[in-house]
Chain A
C-alpha cells in the first residue's frame, strides 16, 4: 500500500528542522507578521457573531454524524453525482489516485492541466506523477503559483506562501515570468499572476480541483476560494477532475449554511470569501462536458478506526489553529516536514502517514489549547496530541531518558515517604544539577526554581499555628 502525505515520510524530525528554521530571522518576521494580521482579522469577525459557539457545536455534530454513517453517505453521494452526469472513482492510496487522474488526462490526449489549490493532490504528489509522464500541471492559486515558480514547499494550509513577503514574491515573479518590469505593490503582483495565467485558463482543456464540501443528499461539490482561479478551473475546461478525501462529505445541502459561515471567518478573517462554487454533475451548456470525482482514502480509514482521535477527520482545513499556535508562529510550517503543518498537522500527519514516520510531531506543542479554542469544528487537538504521545510511548518510541524518568517519577510519587526523601535530595542537589543540566531537555528550557520548603512542610507548619 502506498499511503503518502507529501514528503513527510522522509522529513527530518521536528526539533532538528525547527532549530535550523529558527535561525532564519526573515522567515520568522514574515510568519509573525502574517499570522498577527490574520489573527486580528479573525478575532474581529468572530466577535461580531453572537451565535459563534452554536455554529461550532452544530458543525461538530454534523461532522460526527457524517463519520458515524460515512459508508452510507459515500454511496449516497456516488448515486446522486452519477445521476447528475458525474463519474465517481475510488482510490485506496496515493498511487492509485494518481494513476486514475493520469488515465483520464491521457484518454483525452492532453498534455496540460490547470489546478486549483488541492491539499489531497499535495498528499499524493500528483504534480510529480504528472510531470513524470509528460503532463504539465499549472497551479493557479496565487500562493501555490508562488510555491511552484519558486520551487519551494508550502508552509501553511490556506496560504502556502505565507513565509514569503512581497519583495521576495516579486523577485520570484521577475525571475520566472519573463517580465521586463514589475511594480512593488501587492496589486501589481496579483496583476502579474492574472496576466500569466489568463492564456492558460482559456487554452487548457483539463481542470483539476479539490473540494471543501461534498453533499451526499444532492451529489454536489463545493469549492471555497477568493481569486476566481477556482471558478476558472471548474468552469472553463472541457474535462474536470475533482479529488477529495472521503471525510469531506456532509449529509445535506442545508449543512452548508453552517460551514460557509465558519470557514471564511476562521480561514481568512472575512465574513464571506469572494467566491463559492457549487455544482452538481454536468450541466449542458454551462461548464465542463465531463466530470470525474475521485474519492480518496489514503490513510483516512485508519484515522477513522481510532475512536479517540477520529475527530481529526472533522477538520475543514481553515488553518486557524496554525495562526493561533505559539509553536507554529515561531517556526513556520516547514519544520513540520509535511504539507499539513501546525497543530492539525501534528495530529494528522502521523495518523495518515503512520506514527513511525513522525514520532516527533505530537511533541511539537506546549499543549496550551489555543488551537482547540479557535477550531471552528471543535477538534480537541491537545487531547489527541496526548493520545498520540501515549501511543508513541506504548510502542517504545519515546526516548530512553524519558521512559526512565517517568518510571522513577512513578515509583517516587506512589509513596509519600519516598517523595519527601527525594524532595530533600533535590533541594540539596539543585546546584550541581544546574551546573550539569539535563541532557537534551535543558537545552531549550530553564530548570524551575526549587522552593526551600515543600508544600507538605508548609502545610504542616501552618497547621501547628
Chain B
C-alpha cells in the first residue's frame, strides 16, 4: 500500500496531465510608492487613526518623553518591555518589566507592552513586527490589553510590496502585521473595536530621516 504522500503526489501529477508552457506573472500593479516623505507620513498617520489607533509624532531623541506622555495619558504605570528594548529610551517614572520568559498568566496580569517594530506601511496603516529582541516574542504584544509601539520614519514604506520586501532576511522569523487594535466584523458586518488582542493601540512615529 502506498503512503498518503505518494498517493497524493501521484494524483496531483496525473491531474495536471500535460503541462502548459509556463506563463510569466505580470506584476503590473504598483510596487514602488510615489508620495513625498511628508505625504507618506501623513497618509500613515491618517490610516492608523482611521482604525482607532492613537498616534504621537516626535523627533529622534524625544522618544522617552513621548513614551512618558503616552503612558500618562492612558494611566499606565507598569509596562512590559522586550529583553532588548533600549534602556536609553525609557522615561523615569513608570515601572518597566523586562520579559525574560514570563509565564503567560503573568503577562495577562500586566497593564500593557511597549515595543519597537521592524517596518510599517503607510497605505494600510500597518505595523510589522518580526519579534526581534526589541519587539519581543509574539505573546508580549498579544496578551496584554494595551500595546504602545515605537516606529521610525526610516522604517516606513508607502506600499504593501515595499513593506513586505523590507523584511528581507527576517521573513522566516515569526511575522505579525498589525493594523489597528483587535477588531471584528462578525456582528452585522460592522467593524467593532476590541476582541482578543490588545484593545488599545498607541503608536509613536519618530522622524529620523
> Which one of A18-26, A275-283, A393-401, A438-446 is at the B interface?
A275-283
- Note all chain A residues with C-beta closer than 8 A to B124: 271-272
8 A Cβ contacts from B176-192 to A: 176-192
Residue on A with the closest CB to B161? A257
Query: Does chain A have a CB within 8 A of B36?
Result: no
List chain B residues, Cβ under 8 A from A226: 182-185, 195
Across the interface, name the chain B residue whose C-beta is closest to A215: B171
A304 touches B189 (CB 8 A): no
Q: Kindly specify which of B56-64, B89-97, B101-109, B111-119 makes contact with the partner chain.
A: B101-109
Asked if B47 is at the interface of the complex by the 8 Å CB criterion, the answer is yes
Contacts of A91 in B (CB 8 A): 4
Residues A142 and B184 in contact in the complex (CB < 8 Å), given A194-B196, A218-B172: yes
With contacts A271-B179, A273-B179, A274-B197 known, is A75 near B187, CB below 8 A? no
Who on chain A is nearest to B12 by CB? A71
Interface string of B113-148 (1 = CB under 8 A from A): 000000001011110000100000111001100000
Query: Contact between A140 and B12 (Cβ–Cβ < 8 Å)?
Result: no
A242-253 interface code vs B (CB 8 A; 1 in, 0 out):
000010000001
Q: Are A51 and B187 in contact (CB under 8 A)?
A: no
Known A226-B183, A274-B180; judge A287-B196 contact (CB<8 A): no
Contact B192 A186 (CB under 8 A): yes
A34, A74, A256: the one contacting B189 at CB < 8 Å is A34
CB-CB under 8 A from A201, the residues of chain B are 196
Contact A258 B16 (CB under 8 A): no
Q: Is the CB of A193 within 8 A of B195?
A: yes
Contact B174 A286 (CB under 8 A): yes
Cβ contact within 8 Å between A283 and B185:
no
* CB-defined contacts of A272 to chain B, threshold 8 Å: 121, 124-126, 177, 179
Of B13, B164, B193, chain A has the most CB atoms within 10 Å of the CB of: B164
Measured CA separation A287–B143 after assembly (Å): 13
Q: Does B5 contact A (CB under 8 A)?
A: yes
Q: Are B5 and A260 touching (Cβ within 8 A)?
A: no
Interface status of A148 (Cβ within 8 A of chain B): no
Query: With a CB–CB cut-off of 8 A, which chain A residues contact B74?
Result: none
- B208 contacts partner chain A, Cβ-Cβ < 8 Å: no
Contact between A301 and B15, CB atoms less than 8 A apart: yes
A403 to B184, CA, bound (A): 48
Q: Quick one: CB contact mask for A129-160 with B, threshold 8 Å, 1 for yes? A: 00000000000111100100000000000010
Contact (Cβ within 8 A) A274 B179: yes
Interface string of A28-64 (1 = CB under 8 A from B): 0010011101100100000000110011011001101
On whether A191 and B196 interact (CB within 8 A), knowing A202-B108, A228-B182, A283-B173, the answer reads no
CB-defined contacts of A191 to chain B, threshold 8 Å: 194
Question: CA separation between A334 and B137, bound complex, in Å?
Answer: 41
B87 contacts the other chain (Cβ, under 8 Å)? no
Which chain A residues border B3 with CB–CB below 8 Å?
Answer: 90
The residues of A that contact B126 with a CB separation of less than 8 Å are 272
Are A64 and B13 also in contact (CB < 8 A) when A37-B189, A189-B187, A193-B195 are?
Answer: no
Q: Tell me whether A166 and B187 are in contact (CB under 8 A).
A: yes
Instruction: Find chain B residues with CB under 8 A from A57 CB.
Output: 26, 28
Contact B4 A96 (CB under 8 A): yes
B195 contacts A228, CB within 8 Å? yes
**A residues in contact with B197, CB < 8 Å:** 227-228, 231, 274-275
Asked if B137 contacts A61 (CB within 8 A), the reply is no
A311 proximal to B (CB < 8 A):
no
* Residue A432 interfacial (CB < 8 Å): no
Within 8 Å of chain B (Cβ to Cβ): is A330? Answer: no
Kindly provide the distance from the CB of A382 to the nearest chain B CB, expressed in whole angstroms.
23
Among the listed B22, B30, B171, which residue makes an inter-chain contact with A220, where contact means beta carbons less than 8 Å apart? B171
- Tell me if B's interface is mostly helix, strand, loop or mixed: loop
Question: Per-residue CB proximity of B17-50 to A under 8 Å, as 1/0?
Answer: 1011011111111110000000000000001000
Q: Across the interface, do B179 and A246 meet the contact criterion of CB distance under 8 Å?
A: no
Q: Which residues of the other chain, B, contact A38 by a CB distance below 8 angstroms? A: 185, 189
Say which size band chain A's interface belongs to: 35 or more
Neighbouring B residues of A317 by C-beta, 8 Å = none
How far apart sit A242 and B19, CA to CA, in the bound complex (Å)? Answer: 30
- The interface residues of chain A lying within 8 Å CB-to-CB of B51 are 274
| Interface status of A293 (Cβ within 8 A of chain B) | no
Could you tell me the distance in whole angstroms from the C-beta of B102 to the nearest C-beta in chain A? 12
Any chain A CB within 8 A of the CB of B65?
no
Instruction: For B73, list chain A residues within 8 Å (CB).
Output: none
- A57 CB → nearest B CB, Å: 6
Given contacts A189-B187, A190-B187, contact A277 B176 (CB under 8 A): yes
Task: Identify which of B124, B171, B184, B190 gathers the most chain A CB atoms within 10 Å of its CB.
Answer: B184
Return the contact of A227 from the options B5, B16, B47, B196 (Cβ within 8 A).
B196
Q: Is the CB of B165 within 8 A of A254?
A: yes
Question: Which residue, B23, B51, B172, B195, has most C-beta atoms of chain A within 10 A?
Answer: B195
Q: Are A68 and B19 in contact (CB under 8 A)?
A: yes
With a 10 A CB-CB cut-off, give which of B47, B188, B196 has the most chain A CB atoms: B196
- Minimum distance in angstroms from A310 CB to a CB of chain B: 8
Shortest beta-carbon distance from A192 to chain B in Å: 10
Indicate if the CB atoms of A51 and B108 lie closer than 8 Å: no
Most interface-central of B15, B28, B173, B176 (chain A CB within 10 A): B15
A-B contact pairs, 20 of them (CB 8 A): A34-B189, A54-B28, A58-B26, A61-B24, A90-B5, A91-B4, A92-B8, A159-B185, A166-B187, A198-B196, A202-B108, A254-B165, A260-B177, A270-B191, A272-B179, A278-B175, A286-B137, A287-B139, A301-B11, A304-B16
Knowing that A65-B22, A227-B184, A286-B131 touch, tell me 10 more A-B residue pairs with CB under 8 angstroms.
A54-B29, A169-B187, A228-B142, A257-B160, A274-B183, A275-B197, A283-B174, A287-B138, A297-B8, A305-B15
List the 6 closest pairs (A to B, CB-CB), nearest first. A228-B197, A272-B124, A228-B196, A227-B195, A305-B15, A301-B11
Q: Residues of B with Cβ closer than 8 Å to A?
A: 3-5, 7-9, 11-17, 19-20, 22-31, 47, 51, 101, 104-105, 108, 121, 123-126, 131, 137-139, 142-143, 160-161, 164-165, 171-198
